[in-house]
Amino acid sequence: MAMTHTQSRFNSTLTSQCQNCSLSALCLPIALADEDINKLDQIIERKKPLKKGEFLFRQGDTFDSVYAVRSGTLKTFNITSFGEEQITGFYCPSELVGLSGIDSNVYPVSAKALETTTVCEIPFSHLEELSTQIPSLRHQLFKVMSRKISDDQQMMVLLGKKNADEKVASFLLNLSNRFKKRGYSASSFRLSMSRGEIGNYLGLAVETVSRVITRFQKSELVHVDGKEIEIVDFPEMQKLVGVASDCGKITQI
C-alpha cells in the first residue's frame, strides 16, 4: 500500500529516522546500505509515546505489526487460564517486540509500557514485501528470529536453575550486558520493573527476590538505592551464576 503524502512528510521531518537513530547498529537497519535503509524508513510509523501502564497491543489482538523499542521498557505477558498474569519478557531499546504473532496472526501476549516508552511500528505485510526486494533485510530478519529462538532456549536454562540467587544474578547480569551493548553503563542502571514483576518472570516470590537482592547488597555484590542498582563485584556475580557466558547469551528476556 502506497504511503500518503502526509505520512511521507511526517517521516521526513522526524530527526529519529533510521539513518539518524543511535540504535540503528542494533536494530533491523544493521548491515543495510543507505538506499535500503531509506526504503525501510518509508514503511516505519513512529507512534506517540506510551505512558506507563498503557498497552502497545493486547493478547488476542490481530497481528499486523512488529515494533522496535526506541526508548523506555516494555513487558510482555499473557493471562493464564486461572486469570493470572505470567510475564514472558522485558524489552529494551532496539529490541523487536511482537514477533510471536507471526505464526497465528494474533498476538499471544500483551505488551505494556513499564515507563514512558516510544516505539517504531513496522507493518509486517510491508516488511515482508520489502524483504523480498532487499536480501540483506531478509537475512537480518531471519537473524532476529533466530536470536529470539536462541533467547527462549537460554531462558529455559535460566528458569531451570534451582537456586534463587543464580536466577536473580543471571537476570541482573543480563540487563547489564544489554545496557552495555547500547552504550550505557554496564554497572549502574535503573530497574524499570518492580520486584514483583522480576519474581513473576523468574518464577520466584516477590519476598524471595527482595531477600536475594538484600543479601547481595550485604555481601557487597551490588549497591541498591530504590530502583537504581549498581553491580559492584562482577567477578563474584559471574562466579555465582556458574558460567559467565550464560548471561551474555541471553539477549532477550
Q: Where are the domains of the chain?
A: 5-147, 161-249
CA–CA separation, 93 vs 72, rounded Å? 7
The pTM of this model reads: 0.82
- Listed in sequence order, the DSSP H helices in 59-163 are 124-133, 135-160
Is 144:95 a contact under the CB 8 Å cutoff?
no
pLDDT at 19: 61
Q: Do domains 5-147 and 161-249 have the same CATH topology?
A: no
Residue 93 pairs in a beta bridge with: none
CB neighbour list of residue 109: distance below 8 Å, 6 or more residues apart: 59, 76, 77, 78, 88, 89, 100
CB neighbour list of residue 8: distance below 8 Å, 6 or more residues apart: 42
The answer as to CATH 3.40.50.300 being correct for domain 5-147 is no
Going by pLDDT thresholds of 50, 70 and 90, the confidence category of residue 1 is very low
- What pLDDT digit, counting tens, does each position of 152-173 carry? 777 777 777 678 999 999 999 9
Question: What are 73's three cell numbers?
Answer: 521498557
The CATH number of 161-249 is 1.10.10.10
